[in-house]
Structure 1
Amino acid sequence: MTDSEKAQIAELHADGRSPSGIALSIGRSRYVVRYWMDKMGLDTSANASRWREIESRAVDMKRAGETTEGIARALGIGTATIRSMLARHGLTGAPPPAPIELEEAKRLLRLYESGVYSIRGLCRQTGRGRPAIKTALKRARQANKPGPKPRARAGAISEQERTRIRSAHLAGASVQDLVTTFGRSENTIYKIIKHLKPRHRIEPDRMARLWKRGHSIAGIARYDKISQRTVRRKLAEAGIGSTQPLKDGLALVEAGVSVEVAADRVICDPARLRGAVKRAARARQAAEVQSLRAEGMSCAAIAARLGPNWTRIDVEKLLMDTRDDEQTPPQDLAA
């Protein structure tokens, strides 16, 4: 902070400017200005009392029947600031002002581009807030551009019309049918129905026909926008497949059916079913090995009992994989 900036802070504070106004004038942050005002010993209570007085005057004028725009013009403050002041006293029941007309917006744009007024000056001149002024300037620039003018905005869509559009969409009407029926653009129709999920009438016979034509479960699910579990359930209702393919396929394999035949019967990937069979067999073998180990048999004796394909190392590895961390290692492993 330079000495000249400090002098500007003191001068602007003497004129009654707020810390935010001082920060805007000297191009510094409001927090930096507050810090140096406290360090320079400048009292901000006088400025706070000034704003309290302005707020009191705004409340009195509002209760006397003045409009918010008239109060803003009389006090030289933005309309949004006046509204926030009145909101603290419950005096903001009036609807917001209408948008600025196009001709008035063009006049404001000419004043702004010629340098006569800044945006803040236009706010003071018209008694409107910054958002309204910026919107008006944007509309005026778009209107002055060469080429086709933007189409006038259609009327607001009522809730009854929205309900009819949703009902027609759920009944099966396409977007183009809705555009033709209700006279709205595709963008508007998509905005209304984008959160809706059409209610598909899913029949088990139709699922069976699609499956017999060669469609996969994932493809049917993507086409109908449903889950694969729903497809499996519908196929099971049609007498094809199973809702629990791995569990039912495992039961068929244990009953003596080959993996390929069981996978085809329950509609499952043979590789996945083969992996489930291996995991089940591994679990049974681990339980048998642990029970034999608890009886005191050595790993070599357990391997000889399980079959010629088993070795002592296989039994040790199985016990190593299945035992808990708290268990002590078997004697054979410790040796």
Structure 2
Amino acid sequence: MRNVEVVCRASALNGEGPVWSEAEQRLYWVDIRAPALHRFDPATGRNETWGMPAWIGCFALIETDVVALALRTGLFRFDTRSGTMTFLAPAPFDPRRFTFNDGGCDRSGRFFAGTMLDPIDPLEPADLGTDGNGTPLWRYDGAAGWGCASPPVQTSNGLAWSPDGRTMYHSDTAQKTVFRSDYDTATGTAENRRVFARVEEGMGPDGAAVDADGFYLCAAFGAGCLLRFDPDGKLERRIAMPARFVTMPAFGGVDLSTLFVTSASFPVPEKDRVSRPMEGCLFALEAPARGLTPHVLTPDPVAADKEHRSDKAIA
């Protein structure tokens, strides 16, 4: 095991989506199933928490203390200082059947979010989408709402971009497959999707990040490890973790050389969680290579909307 340290004993049901804020030198992350936004300060060990009214799949940083939250019920702008939540857009799917899952920003500041099937009423048919294969990755286009950004997948995960931004990675946990697509940085569109790697360990590939060397690092959910693939899709190394259900890595720290990893406890029966205290913790370890600078949502959706309405008034 690679000197993995428990930095926060969060006991998260479904810790996910870590994103490092360079401006704040703190790590934001979420608990999907015990819905909350968290902010961890590695300098003090303090972990702040804001409870949410619905499951939270992913988010994007906007500025210091301000984030865009992809809740099951839609996209919201949240100010951690005031607790103010501003509605931005409805969910682009039926929230009775689906919820947001993994997501993130490209190098131009566009926000993407995927989904997973989770019917609120288990008695209803588990409809996977119009073609039976799931739902696409969604791109938030501001006032225009959501745009389709990929072919359908059942459990969207592993979203990341190459250092030059011209390759987009996206996985389907249900298919145990990581895909790669040619990405147009000018338009935010992805084409020519093909298989990058297969992840047979555990339940398949979960959240991921790309380092400065262009290697793709993903969590293998249920296998207790991180897998690092070279740019050609060849497995370069396996990093053992002290929790079986690790969910996503993120680079952080002063020089982006620390790897933070979230994990989940919900797959463990409640009666067994006391005997498995590592599940649901937030971990940190030295990264195999430095990470890439995290990107924020640009422009701020609220500011852009105000500017748009102001232009209309002038016209």
Shorter-chain TM-score above 0.5: no
TM-score computed with the length of structure 2 as normaliser = 0.19
Higher relative contact order (CA 8 A, sep 6+): 2
